[in-house]
Amino acid sequence: MVAPPNAGTPLTDEHYLGSLLDRLTNLAQLVPGCGVTDILAGVLTVMQHLAVGAFSGLEGIMSMNPSGPSLTEFNHGPASAASYRVVTADYEPKPGSPFARIVPDSGTDLVFHDATNDLVVPTTGSYDVPGAAMFPVADPLVLAASEGVDHGSYFSHPQVTAALLQWLPG
């Protein structure tokens, strides 16, 4: 599993989504004046109203709600004899990263209450779900913050490629 939301993600909570978009809108105002930032702030505001209003009807997203029925059912199923492997990361922008990489991390860290995450999934929640028969997964590959790997960049990282080739022979 690569960055699985086994314990869910706080981003599926309507309250947190609204807060995240509020923060991103506020951070966009910090960019020196140009018309693009005004447009971005407007787009984020519209996104907030649309997303918060429509969020509960998006079954795929709501299946990752930590307190929702989908994850409760999934994580409290019977144990399996299968061997599980997990790749996850603690994302932090590398020093010298552009503003566009720093802003999402800052907003997400507030939503995650500074718990390690890859911008979408809590790091620990990928491999450890208290009370679930399949967890914790032994020996997860946890990419350090210094690697700068976020939820969308796992498969381009050499450690991930090497681990997958080792775990999936053939």
* C-alpha to C-alpha distances, 102 to 25, 27, 70, 112, nearest whole angstrom: 14, 10, 32, 15
Residue 121, pLDDT score: 94
Q: Is the pLDDT of residue 29 over 90?
A: no
37-63 residue pLDDT tens: 555 555 555 555 555 555 566 677 778
The pair of structure tokens assigned to 144 is 């350090």
Q: What average pLDDT does the segment 146-167 reach?
A: 95
The more confidently predicted of residues 162 and 37 is 162
Say which range, 27-41, 110-124, 136-150, has the weakest mean pLDDT: 27-41
Residue 149's pLDDT band, with cuts at 50, 70 and 90, is very high
Report the alpha-carbon distance of residue 166 to residue 162 in Å, rounded.
6
Question: CA nearest 71: which of 151, 5, 2?
Answer: 5
The reply to whether the predicted model has a pTM over 0.85 is no
pLDDT for 160 equals 97
Alpha-carbon distance of 90 to 118, in angstroms, equals 5
What lies within 8 Å, CB to CB, of 34 at 6+ separation is none
Question: What pLDDT score was predicted for residue 81?
Answer: 86
Q: Where are the domains of the chain?
A: 10-167
Quickly state the pLDDT bin for 28 (edges 50, 70, 90): low
Question: Average pLDDT for residues 80-109, to the nearest whole number?
Answer: 88
At 162 the pLDDT is 96
CA pair distance 73, 67, nearest whole angstrom: 11
